[in-house]
Structure 1
Amino acid sequence: MAKQFPELDSAQRKFIEDQHMFFVGTAGPEGRVNISPKGMDSLRVLGPNRIVWMNLTGSGNETAGHLLETNRMTLMWCSFTTRPLILRTYGTARTSHVGDAGWQKLEALFPDHRSARQIYDLDIDLVQTSCGYAVPFMEYQSERDTMQKWVDGKSDDDIQAYWVERNHQTIDGKPTRANDKPTNAEHLS
């Protein structure tokens, strides 16, 4: 049975920190709903009602486009190990793009990622847990090195060109700000 809480408690924070993957869900006022898996060392719980996560370059950029229209966001974690649990955080998010005021302070919370496009700052208004009894057991093996190999094979200009070519609009044709020129050039170096 689902239980709801106004904020994350210490056990829930520990559960989040122990997971290797999380899912983000966003949607604009119309168009498609997006659910995307995220991994790597890209998420920080900063308090009982605040989570920030760094969005790395990918094939799409739906979250950025959706948040330009509506700031709703849901994050979800599933236990694939011994304890069956699903945890969701609901709230409103702000987007920080490379070069925005406050980018460097948020970026410093994470390992250096040359392909970081945005950092999302989620203000949690509801936490929900549910059983997860139907979630299968799965074993974590390791992080994939595919993203890092891709980044290592690109120049900073190549990465920005990719953002303009592949990440400047959502699949519904909405803007994402990925084609904005960074004002903080040292981010990519």
Structure 2
Amino acid sequence: MGRIYESIDGHLRKWIGNQSMFFVGTAPAAADGHINVSPKGPMGSLQILDDHTVAYLDIVGSGAETIAHIRENGRVIVMFCAFQGPPRILRLHGRGEVVLPGDPRFDELLAVGFTEPEAPEARRAIIVVHVQRVADSCGYGVPLLAYEGERPHSDLSTAKRLRVEGPDAMRTYEAKHNRESIDGLPALS
């Protein structure tokens, strides 16, 4: 049976730190809009700032659904599941905010110590989640999986794009692919 917690206590912090990845879910306000769930990692890209706040370093990707949805309505969930050890799912429901490079808070948050991509140009935003509900559930349906390591593809792709297209390549990519969500909501300007 699931349990609701008052906060992200020390026990939960330790458990979160032992996971190999997390998922972020958002949805637009429109009933016919596309719901988004994104796998995230490495785990060091997520930091627990306090008992009711987590943040993760968001890197340039093929879409910007999470950013668009958070800007529109703020709703977000961060989910962890145990692929090893005792079965468990932990969900952090909350309200998100998008902190972009150039915002003075970006560098302050970055100093917390996120695991970063090899090229700083890959940084897109820091997503801060003000957690309103902390709840777990059994996780019996989650398979046992062995963690083998991180994939190098994101860093290799970024390095190639910067080498071939120049120092502004990531911002050019964002302008082309991350300007709005698949439903047309504004994401990055």
TM over 0.5: yes
User: Separation in 2 of the partners of 1:156 and 1:63?
Assistant: 25
Q: Is 1:123 matched up with 2:130?
A: yes
TM-score by length of 2: 0.90
RMSD: 1.1
Give the superposition deviation at 1:101: 2.6
1:69 corresponds in structure 2 to 72
Q: Is the 8 A contact 2:96 2:127 kept in 1?
A: yes
Q: Percent identity?
A: 35
Aligned residue pairs, count: 178
1:27 corresponds in structure 2 to 27
**Which residue of 156, 177, 185 maps to 1:166?**
177
2:168 alignment partner, SS class: helix
Q: Is 1:83 matched up with 2:94?
A: no
The 5-angstrom pairing of residues 31-180 of structure 1 reads 31-40=33-42, 41-109=44-112, 110-113=114-117, 114=120, 115-153=122-160, 154=162, 155-177=166-188, 179=189
- 1:128-174: per-residue Cα shift (whole Å, max 9, x none)? 01010111000000100000111112133111100011111101011
- 1:85-143: per-residue Cα shift (whole Å, max 9, x none)? 00000111111011113111112222443211110111111100101011100000010
Unaligned runs of 5+ in 1: 180-189
TM-score by length of 1: 0.90
User: Separation in 2 of the partners of 1:133 and 1:112?
Assistant: 32
User: Separation in 2 of the partners of 1:136 and 1:157?
Assistant: 41
Unaligned runs of 5+ in 2: none
Q: Is 1:18 matched up with 2:1?
A: no
2:5 aligned partner, one-letter code: F
User: Separation in 1 of the partners of 2:95 and 2:82?
Assistant: 24
Give the superposition deviation at 1:44: 0.2
User: Separation in 2 of the partners of 1:156 and 1:135?
Assistant: 42
Q: Cα distance 1:94–1:157, how it changes in 2: closer, same or farther (>3 A)?
A: same
